[in-house]
Amino acid sequence: MILVTGATGFLGAELVFQLLQKEKSIKCLKRAHSKIPEKLKAFAQNIAWINADILDLSDLTDAFTGVSQVYHCAALVSFETDLKDKMLAVNADGTANVVNLCIENNIEKLIHVSSIAALGEAKENELIDEKVFWEGFETHDGYAVSKYRGEMEVWRGINEGLNAVIVNPSVIIGEDAGKEGSGAIFENIRTGFKYYTKGGTGFVDVKDVAKIMILLMESQVVNERFILNAENISYKDLFAKTAKEFGLPIPKKEAKPWMLSMAWRFTAFKNYILGEKGGLNKATAENATRQSAYSNDKIKSLLNYKFIPLSDSITKIANSLKTA
């Protein structure tokens, strides 16, 4: 029996959908208040939904009964500073719980979803690969720290005899993201955003991430980690390609670092006065100007894998938002 944590999330739902193309039944964890994604409702007879808190060992212990393989997708993703403690709990302590139960139940293999945020920084003009590790916590935001600590829990489990594979996806995109998460990038362009930023990063389609996770589970590979990244692109080029898909003018104004610095400080002040949350903050402003590029050589070499071209993903996302 297969168990998937975080099954109602963007990646989790796609993973479950693909798994059910070959599996008759699987177990899926969700929080009590989480809604079942539309794409999974047709599989009601094939999914054993289990309401569980990733931090509640009693809930998780029952969920692991009869399980042989685990895909751990559950995570809290945010760049809000006041959610740091909660992210550390869910992404690190929650992962520790999953790892411990995998060991106790002699699970055949764990596939853990980490992040490029848990990788270190490469030297100038070099791609970041799986061998690049962190050098210090003080330069990283709360989300990155939580994902790094979660990944360290998996490595700890590996040292204790667990068979596991870690995947580090770049920014996961796809037509099912809607207007939230990574989908907000494309929605902002659709609604007429006129600026671009100097930075850039890697992107990967959610369908590729799910497919590769399944291939890794079915393989003999254990105790490795793999960057999952289709293409590296500057935000300027990404915004231009997206604007063209919407038939809109290409953003031609650069949001300078000092402009972003003023903007996140203004947003923080406004949120404090009005008691609101969200919007631009220091972490997202800094990320917007950071140029990072990732190597996908390791996974491509292992599986001879061809990623969905970024242009194809952008087209599908744009078409989806046009009809939303």
All domains in the chain, ordered by first residue: 2-177+199-232+292-305 (3.40.50.720)
Predicted local distance difference test score (pLDDT) of residue 289 = 62
Q: What are phi and psi of 171, to 5 degrees?
A: -65, 120
Per the listing, tokens 């270190």 go with 120
pLDDT tens readout for residues 206-263: 999 999 999 999 999 999 999 999 999 988 898 889 988 888 888 887 766 645 455 4
d(CA 156, CA 99) in angstroms, rounded, equals 9
Which residues have a Cβ under 8 Å from the Cβ of 286 and sit 6 or more positions away?
none
Predicted local distance difference test score (pLDDT) of residue 23 = 85
Predicted local distance difference test score (pLDDT) of residue 284 = 59
Q: What percent of the chain has pLDDT over 90?
A: 48
Helix 310-322 to helix 183-190 angle (10° resolution) is 60
Sign of the four-CA dihedral 313, 2, 43, 32 = negative
| pLDDT over 50 (residue 49) | yes
Higher pLDDT, 196 or 10: 10
Predicted local distance difference test score (pLDDT) of residue 270 = 44
d(CA 111, CA 65) in angstroms, rounded, equals 18
Predicted local distance difference test score (pLDDT) of residue 231 = 95
pLDDT tier for residue 170 given thresholds of 50, 70 and 90 = very high
| pLDDT over 50 (residue 70) | yes
pLDDT tier for residue 314 given thresholds of 50, 70 and 90 = very high
Task: Map residue 174 onto helix, strand or coil.
Answer: coil
Give first-to-last CA distance, the chain, whole Å: 36
Are 154 and 166 in contact by the 8 Å Cβ rule? The answer is yes
Q: Which region among 20-29, 42-51, 134-143 has the lowest average model confidence (pLDDT)?
A: 134-143
Predicted local distance difference test score (pLDDT) of residue 224 = 95
- Mean pLDDT, range 152-161, rounded to an integer: 95
Predicted local distance difference test score (pLDDT) of residue 239 = 87
d(CA 157, CA 96) in angstroms, rounded, equals 8
Predicted local distance difference test score (pLDDT) of residue 120 = 84
Q: Which region among 7-21, 114-128, 261-275 has the lowest average model confidence (pLDDT)?
A: 261-275
